[in-house]
Amino acid sequence: MKNTLKILCLALAAILCLALTGCQKEEAKPAVTEAPAAAPAEEAKTELTLTIAHIGPQTGGAAVYGLATYRGAQIAADEITAADNGIKVVLLNEDDTHDAEKAVNAYNSVMEKGAQMIVGTTTTAPCIAVGAKAYEERVFMLTPSASSTDVTADKDNVYQLCFTDPNQGSASAAVIKERNLGTKIAVIYNNADAYSTGIYQTFVDKAAELGLEIVSTTTFTDETTDYSVQVADAQNKGADLVFLPIYYTPASQILIAANSIGYAPAFFGVDGMDGILTLEGFDTKLAEGVMLLTPFVADAKDDLTVKFVTKYQELYNEVPNQFAADAYDCVYALTEAARNAGVQSGDKAEAVCDKMIKAMQELKITGLTGTMSWSANGEVDKVPTAMVIKDGAYVGLDN
């Protein structure tokens, strides 16, 4: 019996041992572990935040210009911010309706919001008014398209990215002469507008120098609605080219008046006519063959232009004009100059102004509208381009 109990005890012990050993082996299996979570990506650091204001007409008769400059400026600001180069551009925007008094109010508004510098204003008369105040308060301005010499006169802090009126007038005469576009020239200009008058005066001087014959000179004012007299004078005096140093709205009315009497000379304009293809209610067929001087041609094939035009069309469903391109270049030029000048986030406009003046005179930058540098009087140095309206689109004159 003892032997039987002994055997049973030994058997139970063996079974218990095997059970324990099995448990130990099970516990010894390596645990399945998850891969460690990736460390969160470090957020890009913004080393410089620039607050730039845009002022231009986004309602009213000149809205085509101001909407274009705002859109071009915003695309540039977004690109610079997204480039992860340590710079963020905050773009403030105000509508001045192409009115000098409202433009000054818009200036006051953006300065209260902390603007460090200004892209603007878009058109000449408001820019002259705002520039006078910005000069007193030491705020740096770079206008994309206000081209009168009065914009920068006696103001060391107001610069232009567009061609000046004298340059447009003389360059237009040179293109007409070099390409033999007309032998008898008529000129129709706005004698109440500094932009139009300035271009007209230098055109006449250059035309005389080059031997161009001007057979008709007529004028109008901002209140003019009937252009039949001006058009008839050009026709009666045998003009085979009409030079229009004016904005697109009166230009459209002149084209309508010419068409109504069967008068079909060549028409040559300046950058203020850019936008005529988007003028509501205007038959763009009447603009077929119209030539104008501009720093930007949307059908250019360089990578920068293609990228900009593609983006603009995606956002706004239209081809950008040169005003949009000018403002785009303005934001890039201001950003580069500010970085070179050591401008800091939160610097007051007055502290930034003199730094920007010096940096702009040392800057050379290539943009949509050419390779640009600036003189001490704020005037830009770049090469103009002539284009023509063909099949309802702007194309290079040589295309």
Domains held by the chain: number: 2
Higher pLDDT, 357 or 276: 357
The strand pair at 380-381 and 370-374 is best described as: antiparallel
Within a domain: 21: no
- pLDDT of 392: 86
Does residue 300 surpass a pLDDT of 90? Answer: no
Co-location of 70 and 155 in the same domain: yes
Co-location of 64 and 210 in the same domain: no
Round to the nearest angstrom and report the end-to-end CA distance of the chain.
Answer: 119
pLDDT digits (tens, 9 = 90+) for 4-55: 444 444 444 444 444 444 434 333 333 333 334 444 444 457 789 999 999 9
Considering just the CA atoms, what is the radius of gyration of the chain in Å? 33
Question: For the chain, what is the HEC assignment?
Answer: CHHHHHHHHHHHHHHHHHHHHHHHHHHCCCCCCCCCCCCCCCCCCCCEEEEEEEEECCCCCCHHHHHHHHHHHHHHHHHHHHCCCCEEEEEEEEECCCCHHHHHHHHHHHHHCCCCEEEECCCHHHHHHHHHHHHHHCCEEEECCCCCHHHCCCCCCEEECCCCHHHHHHHHHHHHHHCCCCCEEEEEEECCCHHHHHHHHHHHHHHHHHCCEEEEEEEECCCCCCCHHHHHHHHHCCCCEEEECCCHHHHHHHHHHHHHCCCCCEEEECHHHCCHHHCCCCCHHHHCCCEEEECCCCCCCCHHHHHHHHHHHHHHCCCCCHHHHHHHHHHHHHHHHHHHHCCCCCCCHHHHHHHHHHHHHHCEEEECCEEEEECCCCCEECCCEEEEEECCEEEECCC
Higher pLDDT, 7 or 328: 328
Within a domain: 53: yes
Within a domain: 259: yes
Long-range contacts of 150-156 (CB under 8 A, 24+ apart): 150/124, 150/194, 150/198, 151/124, 151/127, 152/377, 152/378, 152/379, 155/131, 155/378, 156/357, 156/376, 156/378
CA dihedral over 197, 203, 205, 211, signed as positive or negative: negative
The strand pair at 364-367 and 291-294 is best described as: unpaired
With CA atoms as reference, report the closest residue to 293 among 383, 393, 202, 360.
383
Mean pLDDT, rounded, for 369-375: 93
Co-location of 189 and 286 in the same domain: yes
* Cis amide linkage into residue 121, ω under 30° from 0: yes
Higher pLDDT, 250 or 387: 250
Question: Which of the listed residues 294, 312, 341 is the one where a domain comes to its end?
Answer: 294
Co-location of 311 and 367 in the same domain: yes
Does residue 118 surpass a pLDDT of 90? Answer: yes
Does residue 136 surpass a pLDDT of 80? Answer: yes
The strand pair at 364-367 and 370-374 is best described as: antiparallel
Percent of the chain residues past pLDDT 70, beyond the cut: 88
pLDDT digits (tens, 9 = 90+) for 46-81: 789 999 999 999 999 899 999 999 999 999 999 999
Residue 317 half-sphere exposure, CB side, CA atoms within 13 Å?
0
CATH code at position 223:
3.40.50.2300
Question: Which of the listed residues 261, 278, 294 is the one where a domain comes to its end?
Answer: 294
Mean pLDDT, rounded, for 374-396: 87
Within a domain: 72: yes
pLDDT digits (tens, 9 = 90+) for 178-229: 999 999 999 999 999 888 998 999 999 999 999 999 999 999 999 999 999 9
Within a domain: 71: yes
Residue 163 banded pLDDT, cuts 50, 70, 90 = confident
Assign residue 317 a region (left: φ > 0; alpha: ψ between -120 and 50; beta: otherwise).
left
Angle at Cα 319 formed by Cα 64 and Cα 332, nearest 5°?
80
What tokens does 38 get?
């990736």
- pLDDT of 394: 82
With CA atoms as reference, report the closest residue to 103 among 151, 45, 42.
151
pTM over 0.85: no
Question: Which residue range(s) make up the domain with 144?
Answer: 48-163+301-383
pLDDT digits (tens, 9 = 90+) for 120-132: 999 999 999 999 9
Q: What is the mean pLDDT of the chain?
A: 88
Co-location of 114 and 59 in the same domain: yes
In angstroms, the CA 295 to CA 344 distance is 32
Co-location of 186 and 282 in the same domain: yes
pLDDT digits (tens, 9 = 90+) for 258-299: 999 999 999 999 988 888 888 889 999 999 999 998 888 888
Token pair 């309508």: residue:
256
Within a domain: 287: yes
What tokens does 284 get?
């763009």
- pLDDT of 165: 77
Mean pLDDT, rounded, for 295-315: 92
In angstroms, the CA 262 to CA 270 distance is 24
What tokens does 139 get?
């705020």
Co-location of 67 and 183 in the same domain: no
